[in-house]
């Protein structure tokens, strides 16, 4: 392998820049070329490339987002699009790819490998932590810290006004952000997609918390929660059953995807980038690099896209005990 291409694809997450930096510098360390591909697979199809050296990635380890930009490309889903992308890579002398993204991006990478026998390694970048084969995806830890920080602020106002706050957090079909940030921020209740606790239980728990003398309550709700009501419908439901509370809704939204990456995410990105490049140099392909029991490991992409990191249901019990 003489030249590696690196791209970011799908939803962005904090730590992607630190991963790009790591890939570029590991290539330089091993005296091979590195090409940055802009706007994910769409840039690959359009030949939007830039040669990168160690100094092209100065001062980005601390930056959120991705300097290479990200995109969703419908054209890459077609064989014609992928043929164009392959031709551009060959013309630019790129002979292996590091794809930083989520399961959709990995599905595209696998297909590309099957069609052109092109070596690919994935780095998991998403705040949702919903990829199998790593305890932490890039950006997840930063998102947790952002959410905890915001809930701390909401708590100040909640307790001044005797309010109940329903706070919706991101995570798609996974409850990792809700569960961990909920415990970290001291939420009274946490609703996650993996465990439908039902509405009755929510009311019960709110009554108990009021009776226990709490002046305010925070309920954290994962966006993919299966309770079957939007957070606004939930507000109406709680208010009609529990008129003592002044219920407010806060949907945190995209602020969770931004910001300077945490130290944890920066270190993780650096480790994953090194492993991704060195795995390609050792002749590996079709793997995702990940963190398991504090070791950087390789998981077949096929498994990574099929599975999910399981929620630790013991955490729900911990949350229950904490909100006594
Ligand atoms: P996130 O988890 O943040 O959404 P993602 O990587 O899952 O990230 P997607 O939009 O699902 O995001 O995928 C990113 C890109 O990967 C798509 O825009 C498309 O170009 C490519 N891709 C996804 N699925 C396929 C597929 N089945 N075949 C070819 N390309 C695909």
Low-confidence ranges of the chain (pLDDT < 70): 215
Say how far apart CA 108 and CA 106 lie, in whole Å.
Answer: 5
Say how far apart CA 20 and CA 18 lie, in whole Å.
Answer: 6
Determine if ligand 1 sits within 6 Å of the CB of residue 308. Answer: no
Here the tokens at position 112 are 């590309």
Ligand 1, atom 25: nearest CA belongs to which residue?
Answer: 108
Say how far apart CA 65 and CA 15 lie, in whole Å.
Answer: 8
Ligand 1, atom 20: nearest CA belongs to which residue?
Answer: 73
Give the Å distance between the CA of 10 and the centre of ligand 1: 6
Determine if ligand 1 sits within 6 Å of the CB of residue 105. Answer: yes
Of 12, 48, 128, 225, the catalytic one is 128
Here the tokens at position 218 are 């925070």
Ligand 1 atom closest to the CA of 103, numbered from 1: 7
- Structure confidence at residue 307 (pLDDT): 83
pLDDT in tens, 10-36: 999 999 999 999 999 999 999 999 999
Give the Å distance between the CA of 105 and the centre of ligand 1: 4
Respond yes or no: is residue 128 known to be catalytic. Answer: yes
Q: What angle do CA 217, 232, 221 make, to 5 degrees?
A: 50
**Residue 162 Ramachandran class (φ > 0 left, ψ -120 to 50 alpha, else beta):** left
- Structure confidence at residue 73 (pLDDT): 96
- Structure confidence at residue 305 (pLDDT): 95
Say how far apart CA 215 and CA 228 lie, in whole Å.
Answer: 28
Give the Å distance between the CA of 121 and the centre of ligand 1: 15
Determine if ligand 1 sits within 6 Å of the CB of residue 108. Answer: yes
Number of helices (H), then strands (E), belonging to the chain: the values are: 11, 11
Ligand 1, atom 23: nearest CA belongs to which residue?
Answer: 104
CA 2 centroid distance within chain: 30
Here the tokens at position 225 are 């929660």
Which residues are part of a known binding site for ADP?
A: 21-25, 155, 186-188, 214-216
- Structure confidence at residue 287 (pLDDT): 98
Which residue spans within 38-82 are E strands per DSSP? 49-51
Ligand 1 atom closest to the CA of 126, numbered from 1: 3
Which residues are part of a known binding site for ATP?
A: 11, 72-73, 102-105
Ligand 1, atom 17: nearest CA belongs to which residue?
Answer: 72
């Amino acid at each position: 392998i003489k030249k590696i291409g690196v791209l970011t694809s799908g939803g962005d997450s904090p730590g992607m820049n630190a991963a790009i930096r790591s890939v570029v510098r590991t290539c330089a360390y091993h005296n091979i070329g590195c090409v940055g591909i802009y706007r994910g697979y769409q840039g690959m199809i359009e030949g939007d490339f830039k040669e990168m050296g160690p100094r092209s990635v100065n001062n980005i380890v601390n930056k959120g987002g991705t300097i290479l930009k990200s995109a969703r490309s419908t054209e890459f889903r077609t064989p014609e699009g992928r043929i164009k992308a392959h031709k551009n890579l060959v013309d630019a002398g790129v002979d292996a790819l590091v794809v930083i993204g989520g399961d959709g991006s990995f599905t595209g990478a696998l297909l590309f490998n099957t069609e052109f026998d092109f070596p690919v390694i994935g780095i998991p970048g998403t705040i949702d932590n919903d990829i199998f084969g790593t305890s932490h995806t890039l950006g997840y830890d930063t998102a947790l810290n952002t959410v905890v920080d915001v809930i701390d602020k909401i708590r100040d106002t909640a307790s001044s006004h005797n309010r109940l706050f329903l706070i919706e957090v991101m995570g798609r079909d996974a409850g990792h952000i809700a569960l961990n940030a909920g415990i970290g921020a001291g939420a009274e209740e946490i609703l996650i997609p993996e465990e439908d606790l039902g509405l009755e239980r929510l009311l019960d728990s709110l009554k108990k918390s009021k009776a226990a003398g709490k002046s305010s309550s925070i309920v954290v709700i994962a966006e993919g929660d299966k309770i079957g009501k939007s957070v606004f419908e939930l507000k109406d439901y709680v208010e009609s059953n529990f008129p003592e509370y002044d219920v407010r809704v806060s949907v945190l939204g995209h602020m969770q995807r931004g910001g300077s990456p945490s130290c944890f995410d920066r270190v993780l990105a650096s480790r994953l980038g090194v492993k991704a490049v060195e795995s390609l140099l050792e002749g590996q392909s079709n793997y995702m690099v990940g963190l398991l029991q504090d070791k950087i490991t390789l998981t077949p992409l096929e498994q990574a896209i099929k599975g999910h990191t399981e929620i630790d249901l013991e955490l729900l019990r911990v949350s229950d005990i904490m909100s006594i």
